Amino acid sequence: MAEDFLPITAEEMERRGITQPDFVYVTGDAYVDHPSFGHAVISRVLEAHGYSVCLIPQPDWRDAGSIARFGRPRLGFLVTAGNMDSMVNHYYVSGKRRPEDAYTPGGASGRRPDRATIVYGNLIRRIYRDVPIIIGGIEASLRRMAHYDYWSDSFRRSILLDSRADLLSYGMGEKSIVEIADALDSGIAVRDITFVAGTVYKTRDPEGVYEGISLPSYAQMKEDRRKYAESFLIQYNNTDPFTGKTLMEGYPDGVYVVQNPPQPPLTTQEMDDIYSLPYARTCHPSYNKLGGVPAIREVQFSLTSSRGCFGGCSFCALTFHQGRIVQARSHESLLEEAERLVRHPDFKGYIHDVGGPTANFRAPACRQQMIRGVCKGRQCLFPRPCPSLEADHSDYLELLRKLRALPGVKKVFIRSGIRFDYLLADPDDTFFRELVEYHVSGQLKVAPEHISDAVLRRMGKPENAVYERFVRKYRQINDRLGKKQFLVPYLMSSHPGSTLKEAVELAEYLRDLGYMPEQVQDFYPTPSTMSTVMYATGIDPRDNTKVYVCKNPHEKAMQRALIQYRDPKNYELVHEALVKAGREDLIGYGKKCLIRPRKKAKEDIGGRIKKGRTPGKAGKPDGRKQKKGN
């Protein structure tokens, strides 16, 4: 029933007795009232605090009237591009347009603009010149300061300026949005709301910023990318709510963008309260005739148990968005939600996931993090586990046992990713054994990302020997349990630090495994990651050393092709890569060779085609399914 949802039409607003909403929420996603969708969480949190919210999902940005559906809100507009950065949502790393959008009814593409936060903000500002605009979500959060933009290969200003918004709420935002709402409701002008943690504002009075740290100016960073690397490291070291300082970034017109320290982590009770709000837990019924919203299918029967990640991968933006301190829900909250899933008419007995950014992180890395904050200049797991790390899976294990015991639950899977180095750091193997016995569906997905230690260091990942130790232990436990379950490793090509030499090393590793990945992620330089700064500057901000960066599209294609060297379509790229890398020894008939000489390879492929056989799906030339070894 539409009455279970917040209003998205004037008629629904009237049925709720709202004459003027406190907030109008503009989002690039279709309206899905589920706690996995940011617009649902923020709007339900505001509702729980007594504020009325109406939503405008996916407005027509070419029609100014689409933003005026509910008239002028009493307190302000909230704007988000959606659950994904709109540019990542629209484009592959190659620049090719994605044909589908999982956050749109029926999966249709083209229902949101590029750089949606900027477009929506300017659209609102043209109609309502003095109404407060607060932007948030992943796109705004990761572009809150000046940043390198991969899609235009340029250095862009803070999105706060380009969107013409008044405030930016970064991170998950539940605490800051309530503080902002209360301030506006009390009559404080939006320009004077400069005191809320987890927000970014603009000012022309830098002297009025208390104990602010000045970052290199936008002009300096645009002129010298090394200044960008310097700025990023300062930002990275101020993402902790206990130790983070206020940061200031100057612009040529005398404006300063000021970032307040992050909001403190949510308590378990606060997490429970957020997930117990009256979500309809599905997409708005107006989308049913279009086939619903595809993104709900991935999360409808999954449980979010935690937030935050102390993994510290260089290519991940979680440090900037959710932070390094892990926050978790109580068992009672998760069991209550699981019981609701069991009662759902479409539930088949399988809970698809119980996790978060990293499934097996259920507590802060050490007790000191909740007193002194996270350490600056060092990671919890990289390059090896910190002596203070408390690797303990007992709480997660107990939770999974309770979920498995629920009537109506056949299987509980873990799909959001296991951090294998943390798993190995736990002296108790009980969780590892039960993971293999109960929570794997034939294949366990893990993310070693690469096997070259030189590349892994740039990635912030453990050395390859750690992954090898995990593989051996996984096999041993499977053997003891009499199971034949495989590992599916996620691998990344063209990450900063990876030359053709390292790409060939990875191909040789896969050759020895007898495995060819069906999926390969080419490194995607998204805002606010350490790896993107390396890509843009050629410098690792952590030690100021130079880093090789693969930017040539043809070389990127070669590095990717090497990982899938068995695919006949990749033969020419692999041949060229091996020649350029000086590894012609891998072109031949020996067991260690990756490909055959060009003439013989063509004869082999031609012969198979004449016999009516086509290149296989997983690299076998005759179409047989490739065996997934470890």
pLDDT surpasses 80 at 620: no
> Do the Cβ atoms of 498 and 563 come closer than 8 Å?
no
Confidence category of residue 598, pLDDT binned at 50, 70, 90:
confident
Residue 53's pLDDT is what? Answer: 98
- Do 194 and 322 share a structural domain? no
Q: What is the pLDDT of residues 99-151, one digit of tens each?
A: 999 999 999 999 999 999 999 999 999 999 999 999 999 999 999 999 999 99
560 assigned to some structural domain: yes
Q: How far apart are CA 527 and CA 522, in angstroms?
A: 16
pLDDT surpasses 50 at 622: no
- Do 375 and 326 share a structural domain? yes
- Do 71 and 36 share a structural domain? yes
Confidence category of residue 519, pLDDT binned at 50, 70, 90:
confident
522 assigned to some structural domain: yes
428 assigned to some structural domain: no
Domain limit, last residue, from 199, 230, 250: 199
CATH value at residue 465: 3.30.750.200
- Do 575 and 485 share a structural domain? yes
Q: DSSP characters for 116-157? A: HHHHHHHHHHHH-TTS-EEEEHHHHHTTSS-EEETTTTEEE-
The whole-chain average pLDDT of the chain stands at 93
Instruction: Please tell me the total count of domains within the chain.
Output: 3
7 assigned to some structural domain: yes
Residue 515's pLDDT is what? Answer: 87
- Do 120 and 158 share a structural domain? yes
- Do 187 and 76 share a structural domain? yes
Range of the domain at 492: 442-596
CATH value at residue 380: 3.30.750.210
618 assigned to some structural domain: no
Q: What is the pLDDT of residues 296-309, one digit of tens each?
A: 998 999 999 999 99
- Do 448 and 413 share a structural domain? no
Q: What is the pLDDT of residues 201-219, one digit of tens each?
A: 999 999 999 999 999 999 9
CA dihedral 21, 27, 32, 38 (to 10 degrees): -90
Residues 6+ apart with CB under 8 A from 535: 148, 150, 496, 523, 525, 549, 551
Helix (H, G, I), strand (E, B) or coil at 106: helix
> Do the Cβ atoms of 412 and 374 come closer than 8 Å?
no
Q: What is the pLDDT of residues 219-268, one digit of tens each?
A: 999 999 999 999 999 999 999 999 999 999 999 999 999 999 999 999 99
Residue 280's pLDDT is what? Answer: 95
Cα dihedral across residues 110, 114, 116, 120: positive or negative: negative
81 assigned to some structural domain: yes
Query: What DSSP state is assigned to residue 266?
Result: P
120 assigned to some structural domain: yes
The structure's pTM equals: 0.92
Cα atoms found within 13 Å of the Cα of residue 621, Cβ hemisphere only? 19
Q: What is the pLDDT of residues 43-62, one digit of tens each?
A: 999 999 999 999 999 999 99
Tokens 């307040």 correspond to 260
Q: 177: part of which helix (H) or strand (E)?
A: helix 174-185
